[in-house]
Amino acid sequence: MTENNQKIIGMDVWQINVPVVSKRSHGIGDIEGGFEVVLLRLRTEAGLEGWGEAACWSVFTGSPEASFFALDRYIRPLVIGKTIADRQSIMLAARYAIAHASEAKSALETALLDIEGQIAEKPVWALLGDKSADKIPLSVSIADPDFNKDIGLLERIYDDGVRMVKLKTGFAGHDFDLMRCEAIRKSFPDIALRIDFNQGLQPDEGLARTLDLAVFEPDFIEQPVRAHEYDLMAEICRKCPVLLLADESIFGPEDMQRAEREKIAGGVSIKVMKSGGLTRAREVALMASKAGWQCYGGDMHETGLGHLSGVHLMAATPEIALGCEFYHAKYYVREDILNGVFPIKNGYVEIPDSPGLGMKPDLEKIEKLTIRKSAMAR
């Protein structure tokens, strides 16, 4: 059986801890030792497998526990016994069966599309739209509280051909941020600099500190203040000469609609994990572009599997034109979970053309990192 009417008969869920090479700080929290993600495998009666990742962060999108139980308990009954052709109705049912849990819903849609692509013998991007490019420029984030270590990373990625970095700011004082901007501008003049506060500034310092960093003429400055501070974002957007990007303020199309109306930014970080799947993330990008906003290909703390859904989304969505940050698989995790090397070459992510996501995770690697596994009857 190779058609879309084959039933989904199995669903496995893992919560894993992925060790990382260094500490990283962001305006809303740190990552140290490792980060946790939830993996989903769907199995069909014809023996096909589809994979998806829920990359969560408790201070940003939600906890891994929430994603795990969203899939294992609440979404499972909506999936088992349905066919691959039911993707849209499954996603609609999941949307209303459990509030939030956008990362779990992203994993679900990714796994369904992975199987659908294998059946159609098409890459996932071809199920969403036309391919707009063969590769996507890669941005690597600079976020080590020890800047000397980041100088080493900057030299390494520069040698690898990366010409785009995003400096994480707002976690260790304004002088530290000014010093690092100056150092990067001086030592790497041909690297495109972007800045991301991850909500790190207090309301009374948000505007002044954003304007201070705008002097370094970064391509954009991202989310200086808390997600809900829409009025302040709008004020900063009006007064800042540099493109202001919203990230934590905009999850799905509903947020995008309000953000556009209230003019809180001129750009948005598009993330599959925030929107609850590729389809909704694409909708955010199309809405933003129509409003004259620019779009960036963001991610969470992910493995190569999580990156892949973002890569396929971007391949089919030329509106996301500010590059991507799918660097964790190569530059941040100790060992990626894919059964091959996540495709980064000369500072670009290459877009896979093989059916489905184009790569699969390695089960042995997953088992070694597992801290919780689905136990429900299936």
Q: Which positions touch Mg ion (CB under 5 A)? A: 196, 222, 247
Residue among 13 and 142 whose Cβ is closer to Mg ion: 142
Strand order across the beta sheet in which 140-142 lies: 140-142, 164-168, 192-196, 220-222, 243-246, 267-270, 294-297, 320-324
Residue 98's SS3 state is coil
Residue among 72 and 247 whose Cβ is closer to Mg ion: 247
Q: Shortest Cβ distance from residue 141 to Mg ion (Å)? A: 9
Residue among 224 and 352 whose Cβ is closer to Mg ion: 224
Q: Shortest Cβ distance from residue 182 to Mg ion (Å)? A: 22
Return d(Cα 139, Cα 310) in angstroms, integer: 14
Q: Shortest Cβ distance from residue 325 to Mg ion (Å)? A: 9
Return d(Cα 162, Cα 165) in angstroms, integer: 8
Positive or negative CA dihedral for 222, 225, 229, 231? Answer: negative
Token reading at 66: 């929430």
Contacts of 320 by beta carbon, 8 Å cutoff, 6+ apart: 270, 285, 295, 296, 297, 313, 314
Q: Shortest Cβ distance from residue 167 to Mg ion (Å)? A: 11
Residue among 9 and 59 whose Cβ is closer to Mg ion: 59
Count H helices and E strands in the chain, helices first.
15, 17
Q: Shortest Cβ distance from residue 196 to Mg ion (Å)? A: 4
Residue among 87 and 307 whose Cβ is closer to Mg ion: 307
What single-letter DSSP state applies at residue 7?
B
Q: Shortest Cβ distance from residue 112 to Mg ion (Å)? A: 27
Phi–psi pair at 18, nearest 5 degrees: -105, 110
Q: Shortest Cβ distance from residue 98 to Mg ion (Å)? A: 25
Return d(Cα 334, Cα 25) in angstroms, integer: 18
Return d(Cα 309, Cα 162) in angstroms, integer: 21
Question: DSSP strand E in 33-81: where?
Answer: 34-44, 49-55
Residue among 118 and 141 whose Cβ is closer to Mg ion: 141
Residue among 80 and 252 whose Cβ is closer to Mg ion: 252
Scan for tokens 């970080």, then name that residue. Answer: 269
Residue among 118 and 169 whose Cβ is closer to Mg ion: 169
Q: Shortest Cβ distance from residue 300 to Mg ion (Å)? A: 10
Residue among 247 and 336 whose Cβ is closer to Mg ion: 247
What single-letter DSSP state applies at residue 361?
B
CB 249 within 8 A of CB 230: yes
Q: Shortest Cβ distance from residue 222 to Mg ion (Å)? A: 5
